């Protein structure tokens, strides 16, 4: 797994060669949002606030990834 720094958004990006993503015919992302074996992580998705926060972070991550792809082309 490779790590890249997105200094504008102050996040670390992990880049890996997963079959799920590599063999897709369309742009794809794999997102880990928690561990179902962890009681606290398992309960978080049940709150509207957490779902909204998660959706915003996923959206920002996709936008940042797309911008990185556009800059590299």
Domain that holds residue 27: 2-72
How far apart CA 73 and CA 55 sit, in angstroms, is 27
Tens of pLDDT along 7-49? 666 666 666 677 777 788 887 777 877 777 778 777 777 788 9
Number of domains forming the structure of the chain: 1
Quickly tell me which residue has 């779902």 as its tokens: 51
Q: Write down the pLDDT at residue 52.
A: 92
Q: Which whole-number Å values give the CA distances from 13 to 39, 45, 46, 48, 59, in the listed order?
A: 26, 23, 27, 26, 14
Q: What is this structure's pTM?
A: 0.55
Per-residue tokens: 72: 């590299």
Q: What is the DSSP string of 32-57?
A: ----TTSHHHHHGGGSHHHHHHHHHH
């Amino acid at each position: 797994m490779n790590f890249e720094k997105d200094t504008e958004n102050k996040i670390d990006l992990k880049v890996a060669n997963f079959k799920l993503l590599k063999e897709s015919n369309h742009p794809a992302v794999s997102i880990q949002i928690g561990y179902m074996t962890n009681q606290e992580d398992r309960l978080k998705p049940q709150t509207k606030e957490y779902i909204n926060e998660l959706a915003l972070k996923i959206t920002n991550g996709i936008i940042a990834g797309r911008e990185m792809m556009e800059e590299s082309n």
